[in-house]
Amino acid sequence: MHTPPTGLYEAPLPSDWPEPEALGFGRVLGPYLVHAQHGEDGHWHAPTVSVRNALPVPVASGGLQYGLSVFEGLKAYRDPRGQIHLFRPRDHARRLQQSARRVVMPEPPEDLFMTLCQLAVQVHARYVPPHGRGALYLRPTLYAEEEALGFRPATRHRLAVAVTPSADPAPKHLRLWAEHELTRAAPGGLGAAKTGGNYAAGLAGLQRARENGYDDVIWLDALTRRELAEAGTMNVFVQIGDEVLTPPLDGTILAGITRDSVLRLLRAEGLRVSEQRISLDELAAAQMAGQLGAAFGVGTAARLVKVSEIGDGERAIRFTDTGLPARVYDALKQVQEGSTHALREWRVAVPTPQTP
């Protein structure tokens, strides 16, 4: 366990620091970056703490030129006693390794990922909102920083963890635009990798959704454009009859850690759950038959948001709120925040001076 430089734990919060509820998401960044370089020697160097803007990313780096950049998003919460925990950090470490492999970048060892995340929490401990009122969101980012314009794997990379204290996501509902023209990912492509390029591909979908009067996009499969893939930044679930369905991990969608947590919680409730293809036609037929229940999107940043409608300008599929999304939201929040002993193997405590 690395200890942060003396003094960083104790740095006081700025006097005009907002209440947790006013933080929103991603707007307020922590003052430090915790990072480690992977050098030409093929080794990971020791973790370092810097002020956030101290690290230049060269214009001629593979990170900027060729999108050699993969990232994770995970949260640290305070439990009812004030102890800080990271939620499922090792699962995030393994997903980062998979993303890195896909774009030929060095895979950060799991223990290095853990050390950097723990250090990032420790130096920002003062910024972790009180129990129940939000989280510290960590954004571990691996990028190529070698300056070279030839198209080949880079020889120098960095894994850096930025953080943003964020509000507890408010339960809300969204109308999703089913995008038929643009696609996010095709079989064999990058869809399962958490890489910046997927988000770049997705932004125009979000824009088209908004232009059409919707809140966010739901991507369809690239081959038939009839089946649900994933929403802008979330995996999706729908209830048909007594079954809950979510699209399978076929390599075109992100293997969400929250998706996995929700599958586990739904199964623990005794619900029938299936990872299977879901077509718009099937949803429309279920609606006609009075079998269509609730739908919701899940992700680390958003936790869980209800989906009230999926539309594409020609038809509108309207979901019925059966109460399931609120139950799952509450169950997930309790597990994440340590308000229950259930699934405590998902929480990894981070020692800080207040909670040794």
134 burial (CB, 10 Å; 0-12 / 13-18 / 19+) is buried
Q: Which parts of 6-35 interact with ligand COI (CB under 6 A)?
A: none
Least separation in angstroms between residue 73's CB and ligand COI is: 2
Number of residues counted as binding ligand COI (CB under 6 A): 6
300 binds ligand COI (CB under 6 A): yes
61 binds ligand COI (CB under 6 A): no
301 binds ligand COI (CB under 6 A): yes
Q: Checking DSSP bridges between strand 303-311 and strand 316-318, what pairing results, if any?
A: antiparallel
Kindly tell me which of 44 and 199 has the beta carbon lying closer to ligand COI.
199
* Overall size of the chain counted in residues: 356
Kindly tell me which of 108 and 299 has the beta carbon lying closer to ligand COI.
299
Do residues 186 and 220 lie in contact, with contact meaning Cβ atoms separated by under 8 Å?
no
- Alpha-carbon distance 254 to 72, whole Å? 11
Report H helices in the chain.
62-65, 89-102, 110-123, 196-211, 257-268, 280-288, 324-337
129 binds ligand COI (CB under 6 A): no
Least separation in angstroms between residue 299's CB and ligand COI is: 4
169 binds ligand COI (CB under 6 A): no
299 binds ligand COI (CB under 6 A): yes
69 binds ligand COI (CB under 6 A): no
The closest alpha carbon to 185, from 171, 174, 200, 170, belongs to 200
64 binds ligand COI (CB under 6 A): no
- Alpha-carbon distance 45 to 292, whole Å? 53
165 binds ligand COI (CB under 6 A): no
Q: Which parts of 207-236 interact with ligand COI (CB under 6 A)?
A: 233
> Which segment (13-21, 31-39, 95-103, 295-303) binds ligand COI by CB under 6 A?
295-303
326 binds ligand COI (CB under 6 A): no
Kindly tell me which of 96 and 283 has the beta carbon lying closer to ligand COI.
96
* Torsion sign over Cα 79, 81, 86, 88: negative
**Which listed residue (30, 63, 73, 140) binds ligand COI by CB under 6 A?**
73
Least separation in angstroms between residue 24's CB and ligand COI is: 12
Kindly tell me which of 78 and 139 has the beta carbon lying closer to ligand COI.
139
User: What angle do the packed helices 257-268 and 324-337 form, to 10 degrees?
Assistant: 110
Look up residue 107 and give its two tokens: 């895979």
Least separation in angstroms between residue 228's CB and ligand COI is: 18
- What 8-state DSSP symbol labels residue 82? S
C-alpha distances in Å from residue 253, one per residue of 136, 202, 233: 25, 12, 10
**Which residues contact ligand COI (rule: CB under 6 A)?**
73, 199, 233, 299-301
